Structure 1
Amino acid sequence: MLSLIQLLDDEKCFEVVRELRWPGGVTCPHCHAPHVVKQGRDDTQRFRQRYRCLNCQRKFDDLTSTVFAGHHQPLRQWVACLYLMGLNLSNRQIAHELGLNEDDAQNMTRSLRQGVVDASTTPTLAGTVEIDEVYLVAGHKGQSDLVKKNLGLAVDDV
């Protein structure tokens, strides 16, 4: 039987990460300088490019400072997990499809969701903003006289 992982190409996964991460060219994730040089490939993942920043002299690779960094699962596994999350599959289904332990799938989906939250910006409202419906929890269910008394209203005013 053919699995999704077999259809993914490591080289293409790393190319896509580079294109999405650095559309204007590679920059240092530490000092954001554009002056970087290639420093060979990773020993364990041959399509994972290493770099050195000429500004701060720090070394990094394609996955440094991303949600994919520091995990034992290969990049194609993460890409497949993202795809399956987009299909709204459960963690159990994702684990089954990818041949993973359910705990590993849970940790991957949690990391990916947190990465989305961390990368999103807080929306800024501008112009006229309208608000509908305000819900106040007044408490004292069934004791409307006590609620009116707490609001400073007499029973006759309402």
Structure 2
Amino acid sequence: MKFFKSLLQLIDTLRTDEDCRTFLENAIWGDSPICPHCGLIDDRHYKLKFGGTFTGTYKCRSCKIRFNIRTGTMFEGSHIPLRKWFLAIYLFLSHKKGISSIQLHKDIGVTQKTAWFMLHRIRCNCEDKIEVNFDTETQIDETYVGGKARGKRAQGRSLIKTPVMGLLSNGKVKTIVIPNASAWTLKTVIYHLVKFGSTIVTDGWKGYQGLHKSYNHKVIRHNQGIYVEDGYHTNSIEGFWSHLKRGIIGVYHLVSRKHLHKYCEEFTYRYNTREMSDGERFTKFVSESNNKITYRQIIGM
């Protein structure tokens, strides 16, 4: 499988859409085409030619339905050349704090609306791609993202902003946009995801009280100026929050509650693949880009 060492190497290697198509076929299919309709793997699928030229369209030997490498992926139904898609994906994944639709439309030569749509398609393919097992030590914390708080609620756990819960274990993080930071909400998520009897580390927020009945619960009392106790801390999950917030404040500036979960998945994917090179992350992503979504679905989510 091909791994690019830099954006320049990607541009030099994938010069045409034919190069991009061949690369994508190798990344997703490997040696033999796979029919997305019936799942038949066969290197003898009929190759359809148009004007005497084969452009990547096959006809399944079993179900007789036509398909190509875009069918069933995030690229299906898009008239944007694969070369522009690949540039957008590489830039999106390699920028630690993300890239705005304004910047992307300038970089690859599409409209800002098209760039916005492309970025959301990419974000939707970041969801649940990295499996996280919460069966050892798990750091748990919640933060607030969104509009500026005012008045008496300008500090602390303001209800004006949108709460996001994060769980980090074995160097991998999972984020969940939650309706509130009540004890019922927090414990419901924890009981569902974290293995009973394992160690969890939280701050002193009252919503976590009572977890000692089911877990080895370590409480780090930040309100008393304690940030590490007996080797336990929540510094890792708080470090992830800093990346998320710096990206939203510095690049995106404003994120609606409606789309916040997509931005959280974006930063989660980058964090969980941080040990990969940019080229490895890019190839992994395009080989798993099987979440097809339309513009109407995005604006309706």
Aligned to 1:123: 132
Work out whether residues 48 and 61 of structure 1, in 8 Å CA contact, stay in contact via their aligned partners in 2.
no
Letter in 2 for 1:33: L
Higher relative contact order (CA 8 A, sep 6+): 2
Show CA shifts across 1:58-102 (max 9, x none).
Answer: 210111001011012111110111122134232211110112111
| Cα separation, partners in 2 of 1:130 and 1:25, compared to 1, 3 Å | farther
TM-score (norm 2): 0.39
Structure 2 unmatched runs, 5+: 1-7, 137-196, 209-301
Render the CA deviation track for 1:102-154: whole Å, top value 9, x for unaligned.
11101001101112326x2543445674211263349xxxxxxxxxxxxxxxx
Quick check: 2:57–2:68 contact (8 Å CA) kept in 1?
yes
CA distance 1:23–1:136, shift in 2 (3 Å): farther
TM-score (norm 1): 0.69
Q: Structure 1: how far apart are the matches of 2:16 and 2:87?
A: 11
**Partners in 1 of 2:77 and 2:29 — Cα distance?**
20
| Partners of 2:33 and 2:45 within 8 A in 1 | no
Q: Which residue of 2 aligns with 1:97?
A: 107
Give the letter aligned to residue 19 of structure 1. N
The count of aligned residue pairs is: 132
Q: Secondary structure at the match of 1:69?
A: coil
Task: Select the structure of larger CA radius of gyration.
Answer: 1
C-alpha displacement of 1:22: 0.8
Conserved? CA contact 2:101–2:115, under 8 Å: yes
Identity %: 25
Q: Is the 8 A contact 2:46 2:61 kept in 1?
A: no
Q: Using the alignment, how far apart are the partners of 1:113 and 1:70 within structure 2?
A: 17
The amino acid that maps onto 1:109 is: L
- 2:57 pairs, out of 50, 59, 74, with 50
Residue 67 of structure 2 corresponds to which residue in structure 1? Answer: 60
Q: Which amino acid aligns with 1:38?
A: Y
Q: Is the 8 A contact 1:91 1:102 kept in 2?
A: yes
Residue number among 93, 97, 121 corresponding to 1:86 in the alignment: 93
Counterpart residue number, 2:201 = 132
Match of 1:70 in 2: 77
Using the TM superposition, name which of 10-19 and 23-32 deviates more.
Answer: 23-32
CA contact (8 A) 1:42 1:50 kept: no
In proportion to residue count, which structure has more strand? Answer: 2
Tell me which residue corresponds to 1:23. Answer: 30
RMSD between aligned alpha carbons? 2.9
